């Protein structure tokens, strides 16, 4: 069936939660009512990236991108655009008066600086239809690998591309494949790490939701390259849409003979299964992940032996991240030279970041390595809301660190980020403005690792807990001389002594905030002040006498009767009684109460 118009509706988790399925249902109903259901096709697609402006839908052949669409807008879109061919300008993303509507979003900074390789099909194809993936050159790379290349040639091409792991550490992918390939064994495995435990990160989820076949194809290629006939995707059960689309995709790949026995009539066979994780951060660590797939409690084991030698069920195993895999098919089709022409000297290609926090355009962006943080924050991210100043960006999640304003011009790549004490990580990027307390942020991440520590090794189980207690004290105004030094000493011994990456990197957020914002720690410890005005225990609510009209409202609202005074004269807060709940400040009609 040929349709005259295609309506692509984002069905990533972000737009689904802002009701894109309701939009589709409403549109379907109206297409029928207008008798054009055989002319217009509605297609589910993956994430366009600009979640802030979701739900997003794109109508072809005009290529009109509509944003912030609500159910109430659907009638207008159907009547105007689909029935009469008139663009609904008010909903267009970007330049509403663009002569060619398909270009309306070209000048939107968010899109202009991106380069989509891993996300190439997200928002472009229907992830539940294998043929749309095939139309976009899907499975051609697998065909090329198994029918034209030797496993060694595949590995050589990947090595030459300079691709490094996107799961965090940035290990060269070709080298890892080589290690697994050179092991001799009756059985080998290929695994995909789709645990995505970094809080706030959703790159991998979006790839699985928007383009699951790219990961499946890449895993089959990896199986061919290292000599494995079985693969596992370890995905967290909290990603129900990703799980569902993966299941559909695996089933379709089997039906089309792209998984299973004798792929492309060669003697290469490959099967793929899902394993659902319960959502523990430590299960993203490679050895814990494999222990969990084996059906045991997800705890890490010592390395070496590395998974390439002794992995799943003791057999040589290759483990890569979702985004790493998503790059593989394009590299084989377009060539290593093309890929390595993008990026910096030691970091090739692109990286996907999930940008969140104090920034206009929260969402998913894919940028060439070497893009500066300034470009990400201001050009792509649209800057900081409410006219506030940029303070720092946290990358690498609970294992990473912060990049302060003086380093805004740093070109983002693996080595530059490591050098300043942060790391690329898996792609979470949290933007913080001047109202953020860096001690509080460090505490937030440490609370996360304390919660997520599996408890197997003492440095992580006990050490991180002691660090958190100290931070707690500091933010409560009970910091003591020497606390900062104690934090540093603990950090060093946890880093040296912990069994796995979780513990080894857990002190990073503290160390990195100490490196750039030591004065803030000192203000908390010595002066008992929180310069950003976040740590409640260090703040006092005070009534500005000049502004107070003596209306007595605050005194009546105060739950602990800490405010007293005479009507029509300035009131005062008794700091000993005050519990710092902030009710007075909220109730004051004259903005006469301040937090200092």
Partner 1 sequence: MKSVEELKAIREKALKEISIRDNENKIRIVVGMATCGIAAGAKSVMNAFAEELAKRNINNATVSMTGCIGICRLEPIAEVIGVDGEKTTYVKLDAEKARRIVAEHIVNQKPVVEYTIGEAEK
Ligand X SMILES: Cc1cc2nc3c(=O)[nH]c(=O)nc-3n(C[C@H](O)[C@H](O)[C@H](O)COP(=O)(O)O)c2cc1C
Chain residues that interact with ligand X, rule: CB under 6 A: 165-169, 171, 193, 195-197, 281-282, 284-286, 319-321, 324, 426, 500-502
Q: Which does 508 bind (CB under 5 to 8 A by kind): partner 1, ligand X, none?
A: none
Residue 466: Cβ within 10 Å count: 14
Does the protein bind partner 1 through residue 74 (CB under 8 A)?
no
Q: Residue 27, SS3? A: helix
Report the interhelical angle of 438-452 vs 464-475 (nearest 10°): 150
Residues in the chain: 596
How far apart are CB 155 and ligand X at their closest, in Å? Answer: 14
Interface of this chain with partner 1, residues 439 to 458, rule: CB under 8 A: none
Report the interhelical angle of 151-161 vs 212-226 (nearest 10°): 120
Judged on CB neighbours under 10 Å (0-12, 13-18, 19+), 549 is middle
Q: Which does 384 bind (CB under 5 to 8 A by kind): ligand X, partner 1, none?
A: none
* Contact track, partner 1, 21-40, x by CB under 8 A: ------------------x-
Does the protein bind partner 1 through residue 263 (CB under 8 A)?
yes
How far apart are CB 39 and partner 1 at their closest, in Å? Answer: 8
Interface of this chain with partner 1, residues 42 to 61, rule: CB under 8 A: 60-61
Contacts of 30 (CB under 8 A, 6+ apart): 74, 75, 78, 79
**Beta bridge mates, 343:** 348
Q: How far apart are CA 184 and CA 30, in angstroms?
A: 61
Interface stretch with partner 1, choices 12-20, 79-87, 207-215, 429-437 (CB under 8 A):
79-87
- Alpha-carbon distance values, 260 to 185, 222, 247 (Å): 21, 15, 15
Residue with smaller CB distance to partner 1, 5 or 340: 5
* Contact track, partner 1, 116-145, x by CB under 8 A: --------xx-----xx-xx-xxxx--x--
Query: Which token pair is 421?
Result: 């004490």
Does the protein bind partner 1 through residue 6 (CB under 8 A)?
yes
Residue with smaller CB distance to ligand X, 195 or 366: 195
Residue with smaller CB distance to partner 1, 45 or 395: 45
- Alpha-carbon distance values, 45 to 29, 221, 274, 356, 429 (Å): 19, 25, 22, 22, 25
Q: How far apart are CA 133 and CA 146, in angstroms?
A: 19
Q: How far apart are CA 393 and CA 485, in angstroms?
A: 25
What are the backbone angles phi and psi of residue 246, rounded to the nearest 5°?
A: -65, -45
Q: Which does 240 bind (CB under 5 to 8 A by kind): ligand X, partner 1, none?
A: none
Does the protein bind partner 1 through residue 504 (CB under 8 A)?
no
Written in H, E and C, the secondary structure of 380-443 is HCCCCHHHCCEEEEEECHHHCEEEEHHHCCCECCHHHHHHCCCCCCCCEEEEEECCCCHHHHHH
Q: How far apart are CA 1 and CA 126, in angstroms?
A: 16
Interface stretch with partner 1, choices 255-263, 311-319, 378-386, 491-499 (CB under 8 A):
255-263
Interface of this chain with partner 1, residues 566 to 595, rule: CB under 8 A: none
Q: Which does 502 bind (CB under 5 to 8 A by kind): partner 1, ligand X, none?
A: ligand X
Q: Which does 501 bind (CB under 5 to 8 A by kind): ligand X, partner 1, none?
A: ligand X
Does the protein bind partner 1 through residue 4 (CB under 8 A)?
yes
Residue in 207, 266, 289 with CA at minimum distance from that of residue 242: 207
What radius of gyration, in Å, describes the C-alpha atoms of the chain?
Answer: 27
Interface stretch with partner 1, choices 4-12, 291-299, 370-378, 569-577 (CB under 8 A):
4-12
Does the protein bind partner 1 through residue 150 (CB under 8 A)?
no
Residue in 98, 106, 93 with CA at minimum distance from that of residue 50: 93
Does the protein bind partner 1 through residue 387 (CB under 8 A)?
no
How far apart are CB 178 and ligand X at their closest, in Å? Answer: 13
Using DSSP bridges, classify how beta strands 64-66 and 230-236 pair: parallel, antiparallel or unpaired: unpaired
How far apart are CB 173 and ligand X at their closest, in Å? Answer: 6
Q: Which does 374 bind (CB under 5 to 8 A by kind): ligand X, partner 1, none?
A: none
Q: Which of 68, 70, 86, 296 binds partner 1 (CB under 8 A)?
A: 86
Does the protein bind partner 1 through residue 5 (CB under 8 A)?
yes
- Alpha-carbon distance values, 224 to 161, 181, 247, 286 (Å): 18, 9, 22, 21
Q: Which does 134 bind (CB under 5 to 8 A by kind): ligand X, partner 1, none?
A: partner 1
Q: Which of 71, 237, 238, 256 binds partner 1 (CB under 8 A)?
A: 256
Residue with smaller CB distance to ligand X, 454 or 584: 454
Does the protein bind partner 1 through residue 90 (CB under 8 A)?
no
What are the backbone angles phi and psi of residue 56, rounded to the nearest 5°?
A: -115, 140
Q: How far apart are CA 414 and CA 164, in angstroms?
A: 9
Interface stretch with partner 1, choices 1-9, 150-158, 305-313, 482-490 (CB under 8 A):
1-9
Residue with smaller CB distance to partner 1, 83 or 511: 83
Does the protein bind partner 1 through residue 258 (CB under 8 A)?
yes
Q: Which does 62 bind (CB under 5 to 8 A by kind): partner 1, ligand X, none?
A: partner 1
Exposure string over 199-221, b if 16+ CB within 10 A, otherwise e: eebbbbbbbbbbbbbbbbbbbbb
Residue 375: Cβ within 10 Å count: 18
Residue ranges binding partner 1 (CB under 8 A): 2-6, 8, 39, 60-63, 83-86, 102, 124-125, 131-132, 134-135, 137-140, 143, 147, 256-258, 263-265
């Amino acid at each position: 069936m040929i349709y005259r118009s295609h309506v692509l509706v984002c069905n990533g988790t972000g737009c689904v939660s802002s009701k894109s399925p309701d939009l589709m249902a409403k549109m379907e109903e109206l297409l029928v009512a207008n008798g054009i259901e055989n002319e217009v096709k509605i297609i589910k697609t993956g994430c366009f990236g600009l979640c802030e402006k979701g739900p997003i839908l794109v109508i072809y052949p005009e290529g009109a991108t509509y944003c912030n669409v609500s159910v109430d807008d659907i009638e207008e879109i159907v009547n105007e655009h689909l029935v009469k061919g008139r663009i609904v300008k008010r909903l267009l993303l970007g330049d509403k008066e663009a002569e060619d509507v398909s270009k309306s979003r070209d000048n939107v900074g968010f899109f202009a600086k991106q380069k989509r390789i891993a996300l190439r099909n997200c928002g472009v194809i229907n992830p539940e239809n294998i043929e749309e993936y095939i139309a976009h050159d899907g499975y051609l790379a697998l065909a090329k690998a198994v029918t034209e290349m030797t496993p060694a040639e595949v590995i050589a091409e990947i090595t030459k591309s300079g691709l490094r792991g996107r799961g965090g550490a940035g290990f060269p992918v070709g080298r890892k494949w080589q290690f697994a390939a050179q092991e001799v064994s009756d059985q080998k495995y290929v695994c995909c790490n789709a645990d995505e435990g970094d809080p706030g990160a959703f790159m991998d989820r979006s790839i699985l939701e928007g383009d699951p076949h790219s990961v499946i194809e890449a895993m089959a290629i990896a199986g061919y390259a290292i000599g494995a006939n079985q693969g596992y995707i370890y995905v967290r059960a909290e990603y129900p849409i990703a799980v569902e689309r993966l299941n559909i995709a695996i089933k379709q790949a089997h039906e089309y003979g792209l998984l299973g026995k004798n792929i492309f009539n060669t003697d290469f066979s490959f099967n793929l299964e899902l394993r659902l994780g319960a959502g523990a951060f430590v299960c993203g660590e490679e050895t814990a992940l494999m222990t969990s797939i084996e059906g045991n409690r997800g705890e890490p084991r010592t390395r070496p032996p590395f998974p390439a030698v002794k992995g799943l069920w003791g057999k040589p195993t290759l483990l890569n991240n979702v985004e790493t895999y998503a790059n593989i098919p394009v590299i084989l089709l377009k060539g290593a030279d093309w890929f390595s022409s993008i990026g910096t000297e030691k970091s090739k290609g692109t990286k996907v970041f999930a940008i969140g926090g104090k920034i206009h355009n929260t969402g998913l962006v894919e940028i060439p390595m070497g893009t500066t943080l300034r470009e990400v924050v201001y050009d792509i991210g649209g800057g900081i809301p409410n006219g506030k100043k940029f303070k720092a960006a946290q990358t690498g999640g609970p294992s990473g660190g912060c990049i302060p304003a003086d380093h805004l011009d740093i070109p983002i790549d693996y080595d530059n980020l490591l050098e300043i004490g942060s790391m690329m990580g898996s792609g979470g990027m949290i933007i913080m403005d001047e109202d953020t307390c860096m001690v509080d942020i460090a505490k937030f991440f440490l609370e996360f690792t304390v919660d997520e520590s599996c408890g197997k090794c003492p440095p992580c189980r006990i050490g991180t807990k002691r660090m958190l207690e100290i931070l707690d004290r500091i933010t409560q105004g009970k910091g003591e001389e020497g606390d900062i030094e104690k934090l540093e000493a603990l950090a060093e011994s946890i880093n040296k002594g912990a069994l796995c990456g979780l513990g080894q990197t857990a002190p990073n957020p503290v160390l990195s905030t100490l490196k750039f914002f030591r004065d803030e720690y000192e203000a908390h410890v010595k002066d008992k002040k929180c310069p950003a005005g976040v740590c409640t225990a260090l703040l006092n609510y005070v009534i500005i006498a000049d502004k107070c009209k003596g209306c007595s409202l605050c005194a009546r609202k105060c739950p602990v009767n800490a405010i007293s005074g005479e009507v029509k004269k300035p009131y005062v807060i008794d700091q000993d009684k005050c519990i710092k709940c902030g009710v007075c400040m909220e109730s004051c009609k004259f903005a006469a109460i301040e937090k200092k």
